[in-house]
Amino acid sequence: MNEIKNELNKIYKLTGIRLSVENEAEIDIVNLKKISAAYKEKYSGSNLLQNILTGNKGQTVAGKSLGIKPDTKMRLYLIYVPTKIDENITKIITSLFPGRSSEYLCSLDSTHLCFLYLGEDNIARPLLDVIETEAMTSAYIAYSDIFSDACILQREYSNLSQALTISKIFYSDKKIISPNDLGIGELIYNIPKSLCERFLKKHFGESIDDESMQLVTTFLRHNLSIAETSRYMHMHRNTLVYRIEQIEKKYGIDIKTFEGANMFAVAILITNFLKVKNNE
């Protein structure tokens, strides 16, 4: 009797549907528990979050359906694991943030997880560290600003998804990214491919060769310092100066100047972008 009432009460709390039983002798408690468990899975925070992010559930009732109180501060995290997400990674994150927080962790596909964290702290670094050290796999994380309206969850997810895509193209060395940190990469990503190709052809004659691109990228990262670049590349200063002069002659651009360095920096980003576009 009590078991039947308990299971019916669970179903009511999950669905809002109140069921009654006329003849308890005809009720199979095992099957009733299976129904209760199925509803629990369907209405779990993880499943609801997945449906909201993918557009399978209305946005206007997102906070209510997730059981999040109005004005609750939260951040959304999109985690990309190139190898493949397994159950171990989910358990690691759940153990790091036990209790209520771990309810809002869902798998979107074989390489992406989304985590809705209730709180203002930026936990991107702890998330990355625990995944890479305990799961021993590389990971990339995009995180949102703080927000308190669950109705914008799908929009935040869309922004994070694009941020990860742009970051992989232009800033592959960055493990943690925010949609606010995309810089000129975001601009180039939204420029038509034909205009990018026209820019390269006009200023660089089709494209930049890989050897030149690698050297110039290193030179730019070391703030146009001959000494720092030669030290990093284990190259004699005179050899580096000679190679830079050869690149400048080949493309007609002085990369030791602010304008020339900017031109090359944009061209390198465009080259990386076109490589991805051409392989799609």
The predicted structure's pLDDT at residue 34 = 56
Q: Are residues 199 and 256 in the same domain?
A: yes
Q: In what order do the strands lie in the sheet with 176-177?
A: 105-107, 112-118, 74-80, 140-143, 176-177
Domain end among 155, 182, 209: 182
- Nearest partner of 168 among 130, 204, 138, 125, judged by Cα: 138
pLDDT tens-place string over residues 23-76: 555 565 655 555 544 444 444 567 778 888 877 655 555 656 677 888 889 999
Q: Are residues 132 and 53 in the same domain?
A: yes
Q: Average pLDDT for residues 99-123, to the nearest whole number?
A: 84
Domain end among 136, 157, 182: 182
Helix axes 29-42, 2-15, angle to 10 degrees: 20
The predicted structure's pLDDT at residue 63 = 59
The predicted structure's pLDDT at residue 85 = 84
Q: Are residues 224 and 201 in the same domain?
A: yes
Q: Are residues 101 and 136 in the same domain?
A: yes
CATH of residue 261's domain is: 1.10.10.2840
Note whether 157 and 241 are within 8 A (CB).
no
How many domains does the chain fold into? 3
Q: Are residues 101 and 173 in the same domain?
A: yes
pLDDT tens-place string over residues 155-211: 999 999 999 999 999 988 899 999 999 989 999 999 999 999 999 999 888 778 889
Domain range enclosing 274: 191-279
